[in-house]
Amino acid sequence: MSIINQAYQQQIKEKAIQLGFSDLGFAKVEALNGDKDRLDQWLKSGYQAGMNYMNNHFEKRTNPALLVDGAQSVISVLLNYTPKELQRDKNAPKLARYAYGKDYHFVIKDKLQLLFDFIKSEIYPSLDGRLFTDSAPVLDRAWAAKAGLGWIGKNTNLIHKKLGSYTLIGEMITNLEIEPGEPIKEACGGCQRCIDACPTGALMAPYKLDANKCISYLTIEHRDSIPEQFNGQFDNWAFGCDICQEVCPWNWKARPTKEEEFTPNPDLINLSKEDWHQMNEEQFRTLFRKSAVKRTKFSGLKRNLDFLK
């Protein structure tokens, strides 16, 4: 088919906003050669830590044409997750903000399916493709940046000029030919607050992250005991870490999310320091039944909490 016109592209974007997404952009499927070289070097340096799955499907990870048959375009979506309120007890163990509400994998995937169905029924009946959100060998941030939704900041997060970096990314890789967006210029300038603020030195330099030292990795993906070298460096983070985002000027004026599914459980927001440390497995299952925190399991959260004592 020929490339769909701008009017149809605008319809797709308007439908995405109507469904609750914060922004949407288009990119043409092609090999990400620059990102391929950077990923290869990152993996060879061992900065993926215990995330061995990052070594898998390398060619597919850097070229979606090998992942999805007939792929012509990547439609990237962003969903703001800036919470309306934070944990009340300032001394309580801290939770990454993306985990305050319902697990984003389900929220984004459901909205993507509705958007896919709309395009298929209203614009292109022969639409085919696959939907992803941090769930397959896809370089989410690279595609969002390529679509003009932001730039990769020095903290390695995607930064959107209006939304900041508290956004979750999803994409459709489809057989639809679309006029691609234009990448925008990186706008971190001389700022390196994120690097200076990282308590473990995981942000070694601009755009370079060593997961072996990252609090998010150590409290979620890491399965063994937390190395004693990090004792006293976690700044009370029990699941994930937002430090490099909290200090970023692009987040200081970020507006709260409109997504009701991300509304924090009041019981979670009101947990005291004592409540966290006295939590049992039944309470864990009740509190985090629909949350991304389930990834670490009760045993993992208990390990993290014990490390903070």
Nearest CA among 296, 300, 259, 294 for reference residue 103: 294
CA distances in angstroms from 96 to 31, 54, 87, 206, 246, listed in the order given = 33, 22, 10, 22, 11
Tell which residue, 245, 59, 41, 224, has the closest CA to residue 139.
59
134, 196, 235, 306: which one is catalytic?
A: 134
In this structure, what token pair is assigned to residue 56? 């898998």
Distance between CA 276 and CA 298 in Å, rounded? 12
Q: Based on the residue annotation, tell me whether 235 is a catalytic residue of this protein.
A: no
CB 65 within 8 A of CB 29: yes
Contacts of 247 (CB under 8 A, 6+ apart): 193, 194, 196, 197
Alpha helices in 29-167 (DSSP H): 33-44, 58-62, 104-122, 140-146
Whether the CA torsion 39, 40, 45, 50 is positive or negative: it is positive
Q: What is the DSSP letter of 225?
A: P
Helices and strands in the chain: count of H runs, count of E runs: 12, 10
Strand stretches in the chain, DSSP E: 23-28, 73-80, 94-95, 129-132, 151-152, 158-159, 167-174, 203-205, 208-209, 237-239
Longest dimension (CA), the chain: 61
Which amino acids are annotated catalytic? Answer: 134
